């Protein structure tokens, strides 16, 4: 151990070369080889200690995060809140901005999936329906541009520099990328409140203010009609399977549309959009042989009766929304 | 000479610690993706309270509204709405939204607490 701290700089007794024994010369060469390794050792030890503190003992804890950084449970709750609020105020522009903060461009799929999950877990059907309705309306209604939003309802969306994220560990860090407020109508810079602790300032982020706009009639209020019904026996649809495709007035697939299947001893309720890899407007249902089924799409449609399972064929059912304007 | 080396060794440990902290806190901090609502920025909290108020205005379920507000922070539901209302005014929310939130805070302040009813929480 002592040799570790004794380098070539140490003073040594000068011994004539001819008097040096072989072991003495070897020990000296060994010490010269050590060089300044102790410096590197210290640096590495310090780095390890620093990372241990920064990542384990006292990691950065964001206190000004956005909805996208919430855990899955709270994201579900946030989506539920957005959908229920939309159910209450019918403000689609506002709901779109809110849900974007949670799921970005995947909002429609996330809403439809959560609606399905809630039904499967026997959670309140009314809340699942609110999620599905919002998914459907978001996928159908075109986005308004800022001028439309202002004209419609006098939006007061504000972009203001927000205080920077402050970590509990005394460091400053950006909690998430800047929130996008595509519909911001007014940009009013305001001064962030003074912060008592010295913090590092980064790019200001917009402050979220929900836009207030008039919203058109809900998409799912219009009825759906059966456009195409055919029996498929080539194996592309499993025997006894109902393959349902729902599209809007414009022909685009419509997710989040409620499908209600009833039979003598029961009912099943589900929504389109659970399999977006097939189609956002797709849903399916497996029938049992010997039972007659009735199927209803949306809330204002006539039920389709007399559906019966076959041992060799499946059914393809295409529904489209009626243009009642 | 040995003490000088020990000193440099300690200096390098200190330097390494600083570098490690800079890297771990600033350059590559822990990716925080499982936040709870209480970590939300104040404007997002305010909008959350507005959503609660909108839903309450629609369904009139005050207890449900109070439960939803509990997850937001350590304050009482009424105090959470009061704080959010102040923030909403600062952010220039519309008068309709401010009125919606005001109705909620009034309802929460009038709400009998479990202690007042003699209930055990």
Using one digit for the tens of pLDDT, what is the confidence trace for A168-187? 343 334 344 333 333 333 33
For residue A60, give the DSSP letter: -
Mean pLDDT estimate for chain B: 86
All residues of chain A having their beta carbon less than 8 Å from the beta carbon of residue B55 are 81, 84-85, 87-88
Residue positions counted in chain A:
325
**First vs last Cα of chain B: how many Å apart?**
70
Dist. CA A309–CA A303, nearest whole Å: 17
Mean pLDDT estimate for chain A: 72
The string of DSSP letters for A77-99 reads: HHHHHHHHHHHHH--HHHHHHHH
Instruction: Match 């409620």 to its residue by tokens.
Output: A258
Residue A11: Cβ-neighbour burial (10 angstroms; 0-12, 13-18, 19+): exposed
Dist. CA A98–CA A199, nearest whole Å: 29
- A151 interfacial to chain B (CB closer than 8 Å): no
- Chain B's closest residue to A190, CA to CA, is B91
**Between chains, do B51 and A42 touch, taking CB under 8 Å as contact?**
no
**Between chains, do B11 and A42 touch, taking CB under 8 Å as contact?**
yes
Choose among B9, B54, B90: nearest Cβ to A38. B9
Dist. CA A96–CA A117, nearest whole Å: 21
- A residues 189-218 lying closer than 8 A (beta carbon) to B: 190, 207-210, 212
For residue A141, give the DSSP letter: S
Residue A46 in this model has a pLDDT that exceeds 90: yes
Tell me the three state secondary structure of residue A146. Answer: helix
- Chain B's closest residue to A82, CA to CA, is B51
Q: Identify the helix (H) or strand (E) that includes residue A243.
A: strand A241-247
Dist. CA A170–CA A199, nearest whole Å: 8
**Between chains, do A209 and B58 touch, taking CB under 8 Å as contact?**
no
**Between chains, do B35 and A70 touch, taking CB under 8 Å as contact?**
yes
The predicted pLDDT at position A139 comes to: 80
Q: Which residues, in sequence order, are CB contacts of A201 under 8 Å at separation 6+? A: A164
- B37 interfacial to chain A (CB closer than 8 Å): yes
Choose among A45, A66, A89: nearest Cβ to B41. A66
- A84 interfacial to chain B (CB closer than 8 Å): yes
Structure-token pair, residue B3: 């003490």
Least confident of A99-103, A200-204, A321-325, B58-62: A200-204
- A residues 237-296 lying closer than 8 A (beta carbon) to B: none
Asked if A65 and B40 count as a contact pair (C-beta separation under 8 A), the reply is yes
Dist. CA A159–CA A209, nearest whole Å: 8
Dist. CA A261–CA A304, nearest whole Å: 9
Dist. CA B5–CA B27, nearest whole Å: 31
A192: Cα within 13 Å, side-chain hemisphere: 20
All residues of chain A having their beta carbon less than 8 Å from the beta carbon of residue B16 are 42-50
- A162 interfacial to chain B (CB closer than 8 Å): yes
The string of DSSP letters for A302-320 reads: PPEEEEE--SS-EEEEEEE
Residue A116 in this model has a pLDDT that exceeds 50: yes
Task: Among B91, B95, B100, pick the best mutation site for testing chain A contact (most A Cβ within 10 A).
Answer: B91
Closest CA to A111 of A141, A134, A143, A86: A134
All residues of chain B having their beta carbon less than 8 Å from the beta carbon of residue A67 are 40, 44
Residue A203 in this model has a pLDDT that exceeds 70: no
**First vs last Cα of chain A: how many Å apart?**
91
Give the pLDDT mean for A185-198. Answer: 34
Give Cα A91 to chain centroid, integer Å.
21
Residue B27 in this model has a pLDDT that exceeds 80: yes
CA angle, A90 then B71 then B58, to 5°? 25
Tell me the three state secondary structure of residue A153. Answer: helix
Task: Among B6, B11, B21, pick the best mutation site for testing chain A contact (most A Cβ within 10 A).
Answer: B21
Residue A194 in this model has a pLDDT that exceeds 90: no
Alpha helices in A90-124 (DSSP H): 92-103, 107-120
Closest CA to A105 of A113, A114, A96: A96
Task: Among A12, A34, A59, A85, pick the best mutation site for testing chain B contact (most B Cβ within 10 A).
Answer: A85
Dist. CA B51–CA B58, nearest whole Å: 11
Choose among A54, A61, A169: nearest Cβ to B20. A54
- Tell me if the pTM is above 0.90: no
All residues of chain A having their beta carbon less than 8 Å from the beta carbon of residue B60 are none
Least confident of A42-46, B89-93, B116-120: B116-120
CA angle, A232 then A235 then A237, to 5°? 60
């Amino acid at each position: 151990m002592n040799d570790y701290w004794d380098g070539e700089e140490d003073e040594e007794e000068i011994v004539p070369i001819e008097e040096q024994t072989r072991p003495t010369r070897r020990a000296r060469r060994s010490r010269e080889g050590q060089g300044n390794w102790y410096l590197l050792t210290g640096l590495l030890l310090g780095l390890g200690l620093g990372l241990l503190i920064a990542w384990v003992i006292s990691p950065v804890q964001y206190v000004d995060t956005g909805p996208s950084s919430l855990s899955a449970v709270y994201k579900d709750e946030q989506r539920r809140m957005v959908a229920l609020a939309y159910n209450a105020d019918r403000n689609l522009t506002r709901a779109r901005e809110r849900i974007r903060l949670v799921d970005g461009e995947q909002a429609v799929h996330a809403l439809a999936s959560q609606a399905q999950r809630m039904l499967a877990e026997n959670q309140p059907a009314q809340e699942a329906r609110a999620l599905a309705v919002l998914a459907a309306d978001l996928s159908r209604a075109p986005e308004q541009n800022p001028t439309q939003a202002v004209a419609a309802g006098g939006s007061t969306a504000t972009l203001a520099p927000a205080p920077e994220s402050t970590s509990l560990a005394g460091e400053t860090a950006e909690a998430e990328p800047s929130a996008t407020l595509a519909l911001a109508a007014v940009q009013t810079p305001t001064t962030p409140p003074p912060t008592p602790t010295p913090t590092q300032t980064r790019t200001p982020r917009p402050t979220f203010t929900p836009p207030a706009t008039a919203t058109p009639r809900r998409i799912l209020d219009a009825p759906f009609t059966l456009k195409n019904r055919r029996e498929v026996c080539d194996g592309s649809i499993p025997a006894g399977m109902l393959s349902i495709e729902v599209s809007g007035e414009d022909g685009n697939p419509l997710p989040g549309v409620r499908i209600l299947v009833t039979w003598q001893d029961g009912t099943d309720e589900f929504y389109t959009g659970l399999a977006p890899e097939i189609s956002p407007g797709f849903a399916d249902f497996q029938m049992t042989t010997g039972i007659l089924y009735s199927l209803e799409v949306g809330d204002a449609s006539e039920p389709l009766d007399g559906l019966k399972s076959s041992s060799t064929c499946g059914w393809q059912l295409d529904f489209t929304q009626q243009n009642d304007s | 000479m040995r003490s000088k080396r020990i000193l440099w060794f300690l200096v390098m440990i200190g330097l390494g610690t600083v570098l490690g902290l800079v890297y771990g806190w600033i350059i590559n901090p822990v990716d925080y993706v499982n936040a709870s609502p209480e970590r939300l920025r104040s404007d997002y909290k305010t909008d959350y309270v507005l959503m609660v108020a909108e839903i309450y205005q629609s369904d009139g379920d005050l207890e449900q509204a109070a439960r939803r507000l509990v997850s937001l922070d350590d304050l009482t539901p009424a105090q959470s709405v009061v704080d959010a209302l102040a923030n909403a005014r600062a952010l220039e929310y519309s008068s309709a939204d401010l009125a919606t939130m005001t109705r909620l805070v009034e309802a929460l302040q009038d709400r009998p607490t479990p202690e007042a009813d003699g209930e055990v929480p």
